[in-house]
């Protein structure tokens, strides 16, 4: 079907056909298909139905704990239900919220590569991490 696995996420597949992008996100037994063209999306669904038993749940409203709401202004993603569940589980659902001001947050990104550094297979090791306000928020390594 011409999809390539995303370098950012192994469960995201991207197809670019005749200038139109189509995305397929796969997680266990759930699949989200979206893109610029309803025709392209329908073609992907049809191709998958040839090999797999699919149940089309229609428009996306909830996936992996994320609520999806559409409006004229765009799409809003919310994890309110998940957050309320976690607050209740931790005994903090009656806690008093407070405003925290963030005057200046410094974002630092760092990448590293040791081109051909592994003496066994001469493959490179690379990595990156992102700090926000001195706190690690993202990291990855690849060989």
pLDDT < 50 stretches in the chain: none
φ/ψ bin of 91: left (φ > 0), alpha (ψ from -120 to 50), beta (otherwise): left
Q: Would you state the pLDDT for residue 23?
A: 92
Q: Would you state the pLDDT for residue 102?
A: 61
Q: Would you state the pLDDT for residue 7?
A: 85
Q: Would you state the pLDDT for residue 111?
A: 65
CA distance 70 to 5: 27
Q: Would you state the pLDDT for residue 103?
A: 60
Contact (CB, 8 A) for 125 and 143: yes
* pTM (2 d.p.): 0.57
Q: Would you state the pLDDT for residue 104?
A: 60
Q: Would you state the pLDDT for residue 77?
A: 87
Q: Would you state the pLDDT for residue 71?
A: 86
pLDDT in tens, 47-88: 989 988 888 888 888 888 889 888 888 888 898 988 888 889
CA distance 106 to 52: 47
């Amino acid at each position: 079907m011409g999809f390539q696995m995303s370098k950012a996420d192994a469960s995201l597949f991207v197809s670019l056909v005749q200038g139109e992008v189509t995305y397929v996100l796969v997680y266990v037994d759930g699949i989200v298909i979206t893109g610029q063209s309803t025709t392209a999306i329908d073609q992907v669904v049809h191709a998958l139905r040839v090999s797999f038993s699919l149940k089309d749940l229609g428009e996306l409203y909830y996936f992996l704990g994320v609520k999806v709401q559409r409006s004229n202004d765009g799409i809003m993603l919310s994890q309110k239900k998940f957050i309320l569940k976690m607050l209740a589980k931790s005994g903090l659902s009656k806690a008093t919220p407070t405003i925290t001001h963030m005057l200046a947050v410094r974002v630092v990104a760092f990448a590293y590569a040791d081109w051909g550094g592994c003496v066994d297979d001469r493959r490179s090791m690379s990595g990156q991490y992102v700090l926000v306000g001195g706190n690690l928020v993202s990291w990855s390594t690849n060989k």
